[in-house]
Amino acid sequence: MTRTIVLMLLMGLSSIAYANPIENKRADEIYQLFDSGKFLPDDEVSELLQEYKNSLASNDTVRQQLHIRLTCWNFPYDTSEQMKTAVAYADEYLKIYSQPSPSLIQVDLQLCKSWYLHYLGQNSSLFSILDNAIDNAYLLEDPRLIADGRSIRGTILSYMGNFSAALEDLITAQNLYETLNIPYWANVNLSELANSYRRFGDATTALKYQLKLEQVYLKNKQLYAANQTNSEIAMSLEELGRYQEAIVRYQKTRDFWLKEKEFIAAADTSISIGGNLIHLNRLDEAKSVLEQAEKQIKSDNEGSYSYMNLYLAQVHYQLNNNTQALTYAQKAETAFRYSENARGLNKALRLKSQIYQGLAQWLEAYQSLSAYVESHLALDKQTMSDRNTEMQTRFNTNKIQTENDLLVQRDKDKEQQLQIMQRNENMQIIIIILVAIILIIVSIFAYKQLMRKKLFRRLAMTDELTKLSNRRDTYSQGQHFLKVAQLSGKPFSIISFDADHFKQVNDQLGHEIGDKVLVKLASICASMMRDTDVVGRVGGEEFLVLLPNIDKTTAIEIAKRLIETIAHYDWQQIAPNLAQTVSAGVASYSNEVELSPLLLKADKALYSAKAAGRNCVKAE
């Protein structure tokens, strides 16, 4: 992917509104131009950054830091060397601004560095940096930085195939962008959210979002954004098997890039055209298109290079050129492994096994197939592991300790003030008044800080649709209940239930009705539980009930009452002819050390309930 394609995304993610006592109208105009998301050619970007820098006063430290941040995000990165230069730039200033920590510039440079590492294919090393940046954004209580960080992480997780965690990050970012009333970046994030739905297997939902976005961009004459969305629409059409429509869309994108003289971007689009031609069995056309792209796409462009070789391998395999197909398949496998693209690697390994079969090399075919199965299982295992690790809280107690230290120091200052008042009676009244004013200001500030903390905690711990605990909060409370059960010897049970045939509700009645069904399921379940119980939404239509001090027999009875109550509810109040049931799995604490094994037992029981015909309860 060339710089021009992703520049629109990058230039907004690092921008934070700020207050500055030094007036500089022209610098602020340039800053707002970057933050607006408007596409700027490379030479104009350089000129504006230089003009911004030249306009700054020596004591304008706020804008000087903003210039560093904008420069980081706007490095050219058509090649791996340029990306490495950008990473080195971020590292240089991270050392300079290591203290105080955290700070706005520190977090933004961490996000910038993570993004370039992603395009360098170094995904395994970037998450420690990215997660730390997001944690610090929460500590700074800066909603824009939180939104930017989670949008970036969601985009990268989606690319790597971890869709569950990606959707959680992108949905959180979407809510924050909309709350902050930043429509352009909300649309950019929505585009990534649509891509995640497509990769997750829901191309229909993705296409619905993308078509709306395209109309918004065209109406606002944001042609680069509209062109990017057109390409994403083509991907969704491809997932839906509408290959000829996808080709027409891709050709439109390629024509746009050729007109802009962006030949690498045009070649990248040609690769997608070739993939769709393969689906239509137009192999000679696909071979010609891909071989033209091969002249432009080099190995340092990992994403395009890997899929180009995969498609060339597939074409040659279907044309019975197995030797040539094997060469391309091996290149694709190497590129996918380097960029840690698990989805692409699985495709390459499977195709490689088929090629070896065509060459009658049975041992190699078996080894490739085994590698494919191992990679596929590893991806499933990693997804489950990531679901657990995503539940850790991002609020750092160090800030509370810092505030306590400040309060102690403030108390010492007050003691010194009292000593002064004792030595000078004439100053007592003045000092008392000053102290009172200070206390009022501090109290107001503390109250506002408390309200902001409650707001962010509610955003972080509550499911937006149902107002139940979200997955992270539910699993955190579940771990707490488990530890209590371990220490006290008292029972602890969980109920995992989800809506039966819920996809049909969304497909036939629409997502608005589906949302109403989920809200009603949450309401029914919450009304049936004790105040000490916890009901959480942990997936799309999946819910989890935590029952402290409840044994398995009682938990099964509770689950049966829940099943019956939901089945007998008059669902036609929501939509005509609607009938909704749920299936439930029950598990109780035995000797589990962590929550994950208990969740797996409940999931297994839930699958048994599904297999038994749904609308029933099974226990593990």
Query: pLDDT tens digits, residue range 567-607?
Result: 999 999 999 989 999 999 999 999 888 999 999 999 999 99
Q: How confident is the model at residue 92 (pLDDT cuts 50, 70, 90)?
A: very high
Q: How far is CA 524 from CA 54, 551, 552, 564, in A?
A: 63, 22, 21, 11
Q: Identify the pLDDT of residue 124.
A: 77
**Phi, psi at 262, each rounded to 5°:** -100, 80
Tell me, what amino acid is at 126?
A: L
| Closest to 313 measured CA to CA, from 350, 269, 280 | 350
- 100: how many CB neighbours lie within 10 A of its CB? 7
pLDDT at 428 over 80: no
Phi-psi region of 385 (alpha: psi -120 to 50; beta: other; left: phi over 0): alpha
Q: Identify the pLDDT of residue 377.
A: 66
Using CA atoms in the order 37, 42, 43, 48, what is the torsion angle rounded to 10 degrees?
Answer: 30
Q: Identify the pLDDT of residue 399.
A: 39
pLDDT at 391 over 50: no
Of 15-24, 246-255, 365-374, which gets the smallest average pLDDT? 15-24
Mean pLDDT value across residues 405-423? 53
> Do you know the residue count of the chain?
620
> Helix, strand or coil for residue 532?
coil
- If you write DSSP's letter for every residue of 551-584 in order, what string do you get? -HHHHHHHHHHHHHHHHHS-GGGTSTT----EEE
Q: Give every strand in the sheet of 534-537, ordered side by side.
A: 534-537, 542-548, 492-499, 582-588, 617-619
> Helix, strand or coil for residue 450?
helix
**Phi, psi at 618, each rounded to 5°:** -130, 150
Q: Identify the pLDDT of residue 456.
A: 57
Q: Identify the pLDDT of residue 496.
A: 95
Which residues 6+ apart lie within 8 Å of 364 measured at CB?
A: 356
Distance CA 614, CA 607 (A): 9
- 234: how many CB neighbours lie within 10 A of its CB? 26
Q: Of 96-100, 126-130, 561-565, which has the strongest mean pLDDT?
A: 561-565
- If you write DSSP's letter for every residue of 278-297 in order, what string do you get? HHTT-HHHHHHHHHHHHTT-
Q: Of 401-405, 453-457, 574-578, which has the strongest mean pLDDT?
A: 574-578
- Are 157 and 165 a contacting pair, CB within 8 Å? yes
Mean pLDDT value across residues 86-110? 90
pLDDT in tens, 269-279: 999 998 899 89
Q: Identify the pLDDT of residue 132.
A: 93
Q: Of 4-13, 284-293, 458-467, which has the strongest mean pLDDT?
A: 284-293
Q: How confident is the model at residue 20 (pLDDT cuts 50, 70, 90)?
A: low
Q: Identify the pLDDT of residue 404.
A: 39
Q: Tell me the average pLDDT of the chain.
A: 82
Q: Identify the pLDDT of residue 19.
A: 54
Of 21-25, 278-282, 283-287, 500-504, which gets the smallest average pLDDT? 21-25
Distance CA 153, CA 151 (A): 6
pLDDT at 460 over 80: no
pLDDT at 371 over 70: yes
Distance CA 545, CA 561 (A): 13
Of 132-136, 459-463, 613-617, which gets the smallest average pLDDT? 459-463
Three-state secondary structure string covering 75-94: CCCCCHHHHHHHHHHHHHHH
Three-state secondary structure string covering 152-165: HHHHHHHHHCCHHH
pLDDT at 478 over 60: yes
Higher pLDDT, 521 or 421: 521
Q: Identify the pLDDT of residue 606.
A: 94
SS3 helix, strand, coil % of the chain, rounded to 5? 75, 5, 20
Phi-psi region of 420 (alpha: psi -120 to 50; beta: other; left: phi over 0): alpha
Tell me, what amino acid is at 32?
A: Q
User: Is pTM beyond 0.85 here?
Assistant: no
Q: Identify the pLDDT of residue 6.
A: 38
Q: How confident is the model at residue 516 (pLDDT cuts 50, 70, 90)?
A: very high
Distance CA 72, CA 116 (A): 10
pLDDT in tens, 190-209: 888 888 888 777 889 888 88
pLDDT at 411 over 50: no
